[in-house]
Amino acid sequence: MKTIILHSQDLKIATHLSTTLDCKFESRFNHFRLYTDKNIDLKPLRSEYKVDLNYLPEDFDFSRVALFVSDMDSTLISIECIDEIADFANIKPQVAAITERAMQGELDFNASLIERVELLKGLDVGVLDKVYSERLQVNPGGEELINFFSSRSIKSAVVSGGFTFFTDQLAKDIGLDHSRANTLDVENNKLTGMVKGSIVNSTTKANFVHELCNHYSISANQVIVAGDGANDLEMMEVAGLSVAYHAKPAVLERANIAISYGGLDKIMDLFDI
């Protein structure tokens, strides 16, 4: 018997689905669970009902989860920081177009980051503060999810192909245990158009998961990762469970769990609290 999570509190949808699929359902905290022996393709149902539906993974032990690692831009927060920085240089459309192609997996990440950061050369560092305080918002359910993990002694971390200026502050503000990202080079309070040190890319993100597993002496099977872009695919392969959050098609294809309608708190439904 397989369990389908209906990440919604809408009784109408639950009733309709259980009739259509000819299966039983139960109400749980904030969601419904449907039970079936059949192999039901959830994809068309998701778009028909505009709701998140996922099979509860049978080979993943939720009671042993020890670490949550999330991408930042467009996953944990609602913006792409680099695009907003570029807005202050009046080049947002150019930079955002490159970001979009990089996240779709159409460009080499390192080259695309170098190209975008170069375009920011000469900008006052004060712009970073403005982006953080005026534009950066945690995605719906994000803080609830992090609080939930911390209440269960599950560590949380953010890893980003974006910048430490934002990851470090975000970690402090919402209580993440670790953060890793690129460091923007600054001289005389201006961005130099370069990144300090090696670039945090897809491979670095996967290595970061391994590094934290070593740090806590846990296995990668005890890790949940969440992401939306092509540079999250490698860390998704590494972790025991991967969540595609409002993700690009390539990421949706490969993730274990898809959240495309609801907030980050929908991940909590998997734990059956």
CA 62/CA 149 separation, integer angstroms:
12
Note if 71 is an active site residue: yes
Question: Which range of residues in 37-45, 135-143, 226-234, 241-249 is near Mg ion by CB under 5 A?
Answer: 226-234
How far lies 28's CA from each of 7, 151, 194, 247, in Å?
Answer: 10, 20, 50, 26
228 is an interface residue for Mg ion by CB under 5 A: yes
Between 52 and 71, name the residue whose CB sits nearer to Mg ion.
71
Site for Mg ion in 46-75 (CB under 5 A): 71, 73-75
161 is an interface residue for Mg ion by CB under 5 A: no
Smallest separation, CB 75 to Mg ion (Å): 5
Between 16 and 101, name the residue whose CB sits nearer to Mg ion.
101
Note if 73 is an active site residue: yes
Between 66 and 206, name the residue whose CB sits nearer to Mg ion.
206
Binds Mg ion (CB under 5 A): choice among 32, 83, 170, 229: 229
Smallest separation, CB 218 to Mg ion (Å): 24
Smallest separation, CB 73 to Mg ion (Å): 4
Q: Which of 71, 83, 228, 269 is catalytic?
A: 71
Between 74 and 201, name the residue whose CB sits nearer to Mg ion.
74
Query: Judged by CB under 5 A, how many residues of this single chain contact Mg ion?
Result: 6
Between 8 and 75, name the residue whose CB sits nearer to Mg ion.
75
Site for Mg ion in 175-214 (CB under 5 A): none
Question: Which range of residues in 58-66, 121-129, 194-202, 227-235 is near Mg ion by CB under 5 A?
Answer: 227-235
Smallest separation, CB 105 to Mg ion (Å): 12
Q: What single-letter DSSP state applies at residue 250?
A: H
Can you state the percent helix, strand and coil of the chain, rounding each to 5? Answer: 45, 25, 30
Please give the order of strands across the beta sheet that includes 24-28: 24-28, 31-36, 2-6, 53-55
Smallest separation, CB 228 to Mg ion (Å): 4
Q: Please, are residues 179 and 133 in contact by the beta-carbon 8 Å criterion?
A: no
Smallest separation, CB 95 to Mg ion (Å): 15
Interior/surface letters 89-104, b for 16+ CB within 10 angstroms, e for the rest: bebbeebbebbeebbe
**Rg of the Cα atoms in the chain:** 19
Q: Coil, strand or helix: which one is 23?
A: coil
Q: Which of 52, 73, 87, 228 is catalytic?
A: 73
**SS3 sequence of 146-183:** HHHHHHCCCEEEEEEEEEHHHHHHHHHHHCCCEEEEEE
Instruction: Concatenate the DSSP letters of all residues of 38-77 into one string.
Output: S---HHHHHHHHTS-EEEPPTT--GGG--EEEEETBTTTB
Which sequence positions are flagged as catalytic? 71, 73
Which residues of the chain form contacts with Mg ion (CB under 5 A)? 71, 73-75, 228-229
